[in-house]
């Protein structure tokens, strides 16, 4: 398979399109969440935040490994990144935001099956968690 050099790491060309697509999707879901928060659509914002983080975690797995599992579990994806990258600090990050990660996973499920209301404070905590996790992962996921 052909490899393309990106910074110090390599990504298989077959994964490059998916990497770029997921990165853009993550960015768009975050922008969507911000608009939804402004409009008071907190249930939709929680879902968008979950989708933003899920996409970003899959970007990271494409960066550090050959592929990512077909799972929606943010905790599972984050622990796989920690395992593959050897970054022990990610385990602490998972512990620090365990409640928020659980709430984000719930937002994914409830958006499809069960109506659940979120308030502004709750969604703000979720946004802080997603922003912090993304910031910590940036050197691994984007090489910078």
Q: What is the pLDDT of residues 17-61, one digit of tens each?
A: 888 999 999 999 999 999 999 999 999 999 999 999 999 999 999
- The domain total for the chain is 1
The pLDDT score that the predictor gives to residue 66 is 66
Tens digits of residue pLDDT in 72-130: 899 999 999 999 999 889 999 999 999 999 999 999 888 878 888 999 999 999 999 99
Domain with 70 in it: 7-138
Are 61 and 77 spatial neighbours (Cβ–Cβ below 8 Å)?
yes
The pLDDT score that the predictor gives to residue 144 is 57
Domain at 80, CATH number: 1.20.120.330
Residue 1 lies in a domain: no
Q: Give the 3-state secondary structure of residue 33.
A: helix
Residue 90 lies in a domain: yes
Average pLDDT over all residues of the chain? 88
């Amino acid at each position: 398979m052909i490899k393309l050099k990106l910074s110090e790491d390599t990504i298989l060309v077959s994964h490059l399109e998916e990497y770029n697509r997921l990165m853009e999707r993550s960015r768009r879901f975050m922008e969507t969440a911000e608009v939804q928060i402004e409009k008071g659509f907190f249930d939709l914002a929680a879902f968008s935040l979950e989708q933003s983080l899920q996409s970003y975690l899959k970007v990271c797995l494409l960066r550090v490994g050959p592929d990512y599992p077909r799972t929606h579990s943010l905790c599972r994806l984050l622990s796989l990144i920690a395992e593959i990258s050897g970054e022990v600090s990610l385990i602490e990050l998972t512990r620090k935001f365990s409640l928020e990660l659980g709430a984000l996973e719930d937002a994914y499920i409830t958006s499809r099956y069960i109506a659940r209301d979120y308030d502004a404070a709750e969604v703000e905590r979720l946004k802080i968690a997603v922003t912090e996790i993304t910031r910590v992962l940036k050197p691994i996921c984007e090489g910078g």
